[in-house]
Structure 1
């Protein structure tokens, strides 16, 4: 065979083949071995006297294992107090622009701040979102003789209503001494903290004031921490502007937890002080608002009596709810007329207006509102479509990408680390790497990365990314994943609940984070409390020994669907009432039913006192429609998921008639289902959740 054809064959076939082999993904067995080595190396690195980790680290680095820097990081961090600068700089040089490098740098900077080694601190400092380190950096500048500028150095921290880290204390003290922070700015922050009810933030800045100003500031802190005690003592206090401020903040704080006590105290102290309009309005606003959230008999009268300057969106909305609860539809319409222009555009209040007009026989006025709402894929849009006998308008979108963009994304090593952590089950570390990677990508790349996460089964990354992006709201496939579909269908059916509802609970509770853990100590996909899980496991004969078992998604769904079924049984099968109880607990729902069981379901939902539960129920019901459509191509009418209180409800099956879904263009930017994942599984006792009106 002539030489030239052989050369052409090698160039066209063999060379590309060898190149492809050189760049091909690591064999699964090799990667599995590297993961085992990584785990071993991490455990060895945690032992201060053991240097065996170095052999593993070198091998992993040579093999270019994505997580190789984390082995050395695991060895360095426990001994950060003994590290020398050269060791840190060597690591930063070998692993530049990585999350591991940032973690070591920030840990070492904290140590340098503790030592007071501000020279080395300044040499290694890089901008950080960590507020403690930001204040350390300002302290380092002060040590070097720099003068702080309020707008450049302090304003962002100062405007934050949260309490500042203790590392900020010497900076603030120095800024005050130098005149950068004057008493007026301190007083403004104190007032912001007090208005937000943040006693910790108020307490940290009170010491910056002196003399009478300090005494007044301390009185405000006490008012926030002990409003009842403050109001009891106030009758003996001298009148003065700052004294009245403290008393007014005590009223506002007390009204949140006990509006009756605040009302009684107001009757005793109203004439005691010469209130400014602002102070009096603060008190009247708080008492009226929280009398409303507890549905006191005088609530509507108090809301209507508020001076215009004491009103805000919350009081106007509660005027609507109180009127609605009383069954006076004309009064409710008048309250709707009193909403701000921005509030009137909210689908919630547009829907309620149409419903009231319909109830009053003004169907011609209701029809165009229903028609416009029915083009929106949200709770109110779906209900409007039911009332006006229109199909649901769900218009799915697609994500456009390019080969070049996807190729660039494939080379993103931070994303590779995120996926590798996920494969190892180290989900917290995986999310941190993911967030670090997202900070380096442009908007289109972030969307492509989220879509890739969805296709790889990392659903929570896609849900959070696309639900937070106004331009990707129509990516329903990615935002509402059908994860574990066979398992969810099977377990939901076994529990006697609609799989679409079970999916909606998963989506609303955890947004598909299998290791989610709430502030109320609820775990996993369906956010179960350990006590509830133990009870259900015992009753159903399912394996369960500890709370961490609930991070197993299959077990969580097994226990969660059965608990959901038990909740539904308590409320005649009603998914909307069971959803309310799933979020808020049975005791609050019992109180609401005792007070307002005659209301129609949509009106009852709007009058739920807990803001979170109010929004949770509407979110779950809307998600149920979307998941039903995702599974069946059609959807059970939302209104059929909302039986009247006391009316029996039976979960749908495959033969249940469903409603058509069409792709109708929206006349406005997409108004979609509000997202979120929150689950406070605790009853607040005798009062309502007044902190969230």
Structure 2
């Protein structure tokens, strides 16, 4: 018994020591965080500090502190943000009249619609349908749209109810799945005989087109047993498109025609010749219109062209000569001619293009190349001379053909009256304050909504201001909106110079090439993330970052680490070196691989006879990669001029492609 008591006392003493240790540790952490925050706020103004503290008070719902900060900040540029975050966080306890006043007072701020969205969600949750109906404005959310229809059907006028029925019918037909908020509307339509068989068939057609087969079968439950069988057979055909080469007998009505058209389109990806034979054999039997026939014929021709099939030339020629040509079919016919060095075919194809397309820099260049190859050097020379005046990919290529100097054509800088600009545009003051407190993402949203509203004559000044504030993506976007392509200083900034130069030297690659990749990938957005998952300045995929990190001994490969410029540039530059070595220093192939992946570049160069680089670039199957390579090569040339005061000619960076020496054996895992 005594031993048990001593054991218990010892355990209590141990637990007390642990508790004291944890308490001390938490205190230390709190003090450290306070010290860090205090240090971070040292350079902030009194109002900026108050705003940051107000935001923290809002998160704690410290009402006395919030009231104090609101009074202190009522004349501050970010005061609307204080109100917005307070109302957003405490939406349940904010009186409707307060929200209504905010929506009216700040109707020109994007915050107004953001708050309205939060409020609508709250009103729907509380089933306050009359208020919802009163304050609704068009929303992108399907759920909020359905809540509006539901409110209209419950409390709307006769006209509002009729509109709600028509719009909800249209919405339902285009839903891949029915959100919970839309179930009540769906039930209303069904119970009030507003739910038609045509709606069901339209939605099934849409779902099958999107390859949502199981959902299509689920929707088909609203049909008869015989119609469900039709849907099942329809799905069977599009899943196995070779069935379109036989007469379809187990489907009737419009569904047979739809099944055939969808199936033969899918067959075009597998076997274009077989698809064309099936189209010609059954199009009349299934009642395809002339336009429907031409659309599918065009699809078949383009699918064969994507893979550079032997039959692609004849299929495209038939489409283009029958008067059914489009920009895509003509471009692909031209690309095939370029890839195969068929210069007469190329000239003939360019002649088929619209006059405006013929004047595009791309086709002017290739007309000159074809004429030069055909011996008309005098006409080619004139075309090259005109193109060489331009500062772009084709201008540089043209200058190389005639040994002319590159023309960079920079525009002079404008004087900037920063105070007047900020006074005219209050959004700039908000942006300036958001930058100061390091609310970068919120500042980006402000830029996004602000720039389209700017007087076009002031976009250069706005871009200059953005660059001064180190807001490089927005300086670039300003010039794009203004179409001021010769503002080189604003369009091609060189931030992060130290890590770029260090990693270029370490990896033995051109720093201008690194900048060219960054400029194309992210336009200097450090924390940007793509829908595919690519992260940061050089848009690295996490898997690629881990692979390269392992090779160079870096563990800073998390998504968070990749949003830091230094880490991103280190890993991105190492990946560029890897690709450069893989392709024996061929910058064109390495750049294409950076965008599309090494496996695709291997496919595009497999069994390829030696081809000039400009021909290979303009015959890349992927439009995105084709444009990407051109842009990076152009940007690299511009950055070379900015970094070194001289430039490397494209012809020296674009060697022949296709011989076995182009590719190395190593592969990316």
TM-score, normalised on structure 2?
0.77
Deviation of the 1:416 alpha carbon: 2.8
Worse overlay, 296-305 or 274-283: 274-283
Deviation of the 1:234 alpha carbon: 6.9
CA distance in 2, matches of 1:176, 1:342: 52
CA RMSD of aligned residues (A): 4.6
Give the aligned partner of residue 62 of structure 1. 72
CA distance in 1, matches of 2:465, 2:238: 49
CA distance in 1, matches of 2:369, 2:145: 52
Question: Which SS does the other structure have where 2:525 is aligned?
Answer: coil
CA distance in 2, matches of 1:124, 1:417: 27
Q: 2:122 aligns with which of 111, 135, 140?
A: 111
Give the aligned partner of residue 455 of structure 1. 468
Deviation of the 1:588 alpha carbon: 0.8
Deviation of the 1:428 alpha carbon: 2.6
Deviation of the 1:95 alpha carbon: 6.0
Give the aligned partner of residue 561 of structure 2. 549
CA distance in 1, matches of 2:271, 2:67: 60
Deviation of the 1:291 alpha carbon: 0.9
Q: 1:360 aligns with which of 370, 374, 384?
A: 374
Deviation of the 1:163 alpha carbon: 7.7
Give the aligned partner of residue 131 of structure 2. 120
Q: Is the 2:399–2:406 contact (alpha carbons within 8 Å) kept by the matching residues of 1?
A: yes
Give the aligned partner of residue 309 of structure 2. 296
1:332-411 → structure 2 map (5 Å cutoff): 332-398=346-412, 400=414, 403=417, 407-410=420-423
Q: 1:602 aligns with which of 604, 609, 614?
A: 614
Give the aligned partner of residue 29 of structure 2. none
Q: Is the 2:256–2:286 contact (alpha carbons within 8 Å) kept by the matching residues of 1?
A: no
Correspondence 1:283 to 2:293: no
Q: 2:487 aligns with which of 464, 472, 475?
A: 475
CA distance in 2, matches of 1:32, 1:222: 65
CA distance in 1, matches of 2:334, 2:366: 10
Q: Is the 1:57–1:71 contact (alpha carbons within 8 Å) kept by the matching residues of 2?
A: no
Deviation digits for residues 58-99 of structure 1, max 9, x if unmatched? 326514554454455445435545654245336557766544
Q: Is the 1:45–1:72 contact (alpha carbons within 8 Å) kept by the matching residues of 2?
A: no
How many residue pairs align between the two structures? 615
Q: 1:211 to 1:280 in 2, by over 3 A?
A: farther
CA distance in 2, matches of 1:617, 1:497: 17
Please, which runs of 5 or more residues in structure 1 have no aligned partner?
1-26, 650-682, 684-693
Q: 1:248 aligns with which of 234, 238, 261?
A: 261
Give the aligned partner of residue 332 of structure 2. 318
Q: Is the 1:596–1:604 contact (alpha carbons within 8 Å) kept by the matching residues of 2?
A: no
Deviation of the 1:488 alpha carbon: 1.7
Question: Which SS does the other structure have where 2:159 is aligned?
Answer: coil
Q: 1:94 to 1:559 in 2, by over 3 A?
A: same
In our comparison, the structure showing a higher alpha carbon Rg is: 2
Question: Which SS does the other structure have where 2:606 is aligned?
Answer: helix
Q: Is the 1:139–1:171 contact (alpha carbons within 8 Å) kept by the matching residues of 2?
A: yes
CA distance in 2, matches of 1:634, 1:28: 43
Q: Is the 1:409–1:449 contact (alpha carbons within 8 Å) kept by the matching residues of 2?
A: no
Q: 2:600 aligns with which of 588, 592, 614?
A: 588
Q: Is the 1:197–1:253 contact (alpha carbons within 8 Å) kept by the matching residues of 2?
A: no
Q: 2:571 aligns with which of 559, 574, 578?
A: 559
Considering fraction of residues, name the structure with more helix. Answer: 2
Q: Is the 1:500–1:628 contact (alpha carbons within 8 Å) kept by the matching residues of 2?
A: yes
Give the aligned partner of residue 653 of structure 1. none
Q: Is the 1:38–1:56 contact (alpha carbons within 8 Å) kept by the matching residues of 2?
A: no
Q: 2:643 aligns with which of 631, 640, 645?
A: 631
Q: 1:495 aligns with which of 504, 507, 529?
A: 507
Q: 1:527 to 1:53 in 2, by over 3 A?
A: farther
Worse overlay, 329-338 or 260-269: 260-269
Deviation of the 1:339 alpha carbon: 2.5
Q: 1:110 to 1:343 in 2, by over 3 A?
A: same
Q: Is the 2:234–2:255 contact (alpha carbons within 8 Å) kept by the matching residues of 1?
A: no
Q: 1:615 aligns with which of 613, 621, 627?
A: 627
Give the aligned partner of residue 530 of structure 1. 542
Give the aligned partner of residue 27 of structure 2. none
Correspondence 1:52 to 2:66: no
Deviation digits for residues 256-293 of structure 1, max 9, x if unmatched? 47647746865885686343322322322211110111
Q: Is the 1:219–1:246 contact (alpha carbons within 8 Å) kept by the matching residues of 2?
A: no
Give the aligned partner of residue 515 of structure 1. 527
CA distance in 1, matches of 2:372, 2:175: 46
Question: Which SS does the other structure have where 1:351 is aligned?
Answer: helix
Q: Is the 2:492–2:639 contact (alpha carbons within 8 Å) kept by the matching residues of 1?
A: yes
Question: Which SS does the other structure have where 2:610 is aligned?
Answer: coil
1:413-428 → structure 2 map (5 Å cutoff): 413-428=426-441
Deviation digits for residues 425-480 of structure 1, max 9, x if unmatched? 4333221122333465433345433321112111011112212432x222111111
Question: Which SS does the other structure have where 1:522 is aligned?
Answer: coil
Give the aligned partner of residue 573 of structure 1. 585
Q: 1:540 to 1:105 in 2, by over 3 A?
A: same
Deviation digits for residues 468-504 of structure 1, max 9, x if unmatched? 432x222111111111223322321221111111111
Question: Which SS does the other structure have where 2:261 is aligned?
Answer: helix
Deviation digits for residues 129-172 of structure 1, max 9, x if unmatched? 7776567656655642152698xx979x99x9998996789889
Deviation digits for residues 42-67 of structure 1, max 9, x if unmatched? 45544xxx433651563265145544
Question: Which SS does the other structure have where 1:393 is aligned?
Answer: coil
Give the aligned partner of residue 344 of structure 2. 330
Worse overlay, 413-422 or 221-230: 221-230
Deviation of the 1:513 alpha carbon: 0.7
Give the aligned partner of residue 113 of structure 2. 102
TM-score, normalised on structure 1?
0.75
CA distance in 1, matches of 2:380, 2:131: 69
Q: 1:31 aligns with which of 38, 44, 51?
A: 44
Q: 1:54 to 1:439 in 2, by over 3 A?
A: farther
Give the aligned partner of residue 466 of structure 1. 479
CA distance in 2, matches of 1:169, 1:233: 41
CA distance in 1, matches of 2:52, 2:643: 40
